[in-house]
């Protein structure tokens, strides 16, 4: 059976989601996950996301170094990531050694999860690509917290309304390799500190 969800981060009802248990000390080797009734977006530490397909066998995550890791997972609905039909699941576990207390992380504080773009990304007919965002435990507003992002060092764009009123797109984007930075920003211009889980920097390739 699937392990019980961590406190404050329940697993979605009706699906056999399989993830490392909270506080698990796993042996060295592949760490596997499985989706339930919906595709499952899984992000470990600062690695690129993995999407586990609904109804498929367990899928191995990218090789994880020995030590402590933090996993976030959310079932993907028909809409954008911010309106996915399920709560964010958070698990702290270790590979090859016992899990100590995770310093500087609070699962009830601000969390930023970014889905696409990662890996190799196709463009739409207008040359644009999608940006999947999910914000937990951090209300956004014109005078409060915001999501900001910058592609290839360009001037940062800002999102102050969440859940999203419409999908977020980037571009037009030229084919080739790109660097995206996404971060949460407080009303005073600072980034909330929560174990590094309030900002993402990622390289990806556009077809």
State pLDDT tens for residues 20-44: 999 999 999 999 999 988 899 999 9
> CB–CB of 71/41 below 8 Å?
no
DSSP tag of 116:
S
Q: What is the mean pLDDT of residues 128-144?
A: 93
Question: Which position has the token pair 């996404």?
Answer: 182
Phi, psi dihedral angles at 189 (to 5 degrees):
90, -5
What's the pLDDT at 130? 94
Q: Which of 38-42, 63-67, 178-182, 193-197 has the highest mean pLDDT?
A: 178-182
CA angle at 90 for the pair 84 and 94, rounded to the nearest 5°: 145
Question: Which position has the token pair 């739409």?
Answer: 124
Q: Is the pLDDT of residue 200 over 60?
A: yes
Q: What is the mean pLDDT of residues 91-107?
A: 84
Phi, psi dihedral angles at 73 (to 5 degrees):
-140, 140
What's the pLDDT at 37? 87
**CA–CA gap between residue 15 and residue 153 (Å, rounded):** 40
Q: Is the pLDDT of residue 113 over 60?
A: yes
Nearest Cα to 153, choosing from 121, 181, 175?
Answer: 181
Q: What is the mean pLDDT of residues 103-130?
A: 94
Positions of E strands within the chain: 25-26, 32-33, 40-44, 50-52, 59-60, 67-75, 89-95, 111-114, 119-121, 129-131, 133-136, 146-151, 157-159, 168-170, 176-185, 199-206
Phi, psi dihedral angles at 41 (to 5 degrees):
-85, 125
Q: Is the pLDDT of residue 100 over 70?
A: no
pLDDT band at 6 (very low <50, low <70, confident <90, very high): very low
Taken as a whole, the chain contains a residue count of 207
Question: Which position has the token pair 């499952």?
Answer: 40
pLDDT band at 9 (very low <50, low <70, confident <90, very high): very low
**CA–CA gap between residue 92 and residue 71 (Å, rounded):** 6
What's the mean per-residue pLDDT of the chain? 88
């Amino acid at each position: 059976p699937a392990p019980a969800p961590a406190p404050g981060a329940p697993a979605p009802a009706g699906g056999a989601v399989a993830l490392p248990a909270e506080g698990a000390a796993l042996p060295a080797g592949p760490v596997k996950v499985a989706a339930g009734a919906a595709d499952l977006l899984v992000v470990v530490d600062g690695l690129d996301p993995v999407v586990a397909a609904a109804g498929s066998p367990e899928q191995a995550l990218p090789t994880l170094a020995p030590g402590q890791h933090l996993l976030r997972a959310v079932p993907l609905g028909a809409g954008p990531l911010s309106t996915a039909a399920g709560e964010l699941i958070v698990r702290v576990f270790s590979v090859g050694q016992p899990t100590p207390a995770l310093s500087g992380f609070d699962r009830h504080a601000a969390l930023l999860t970014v889905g696409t773009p990662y890996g190799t990304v196709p463009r739409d007919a207008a040359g644009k690509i999608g940006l999947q965002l999910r914000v937990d435990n951090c209300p956004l507003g014109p005078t409060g917290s915001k999501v900001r992002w910058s592609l290839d060092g360009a001037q940062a764009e800002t999102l102050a309304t969440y859940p999203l009123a419409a999908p977020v797109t980037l571009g037009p984007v030229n084919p080739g390799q790109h660097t995206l930075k996404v971060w949460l920003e407080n009303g005073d211009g600072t980034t909330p500190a929560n174990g590094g889980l309030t900002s993402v920097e990622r390289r990806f390739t556009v077809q």
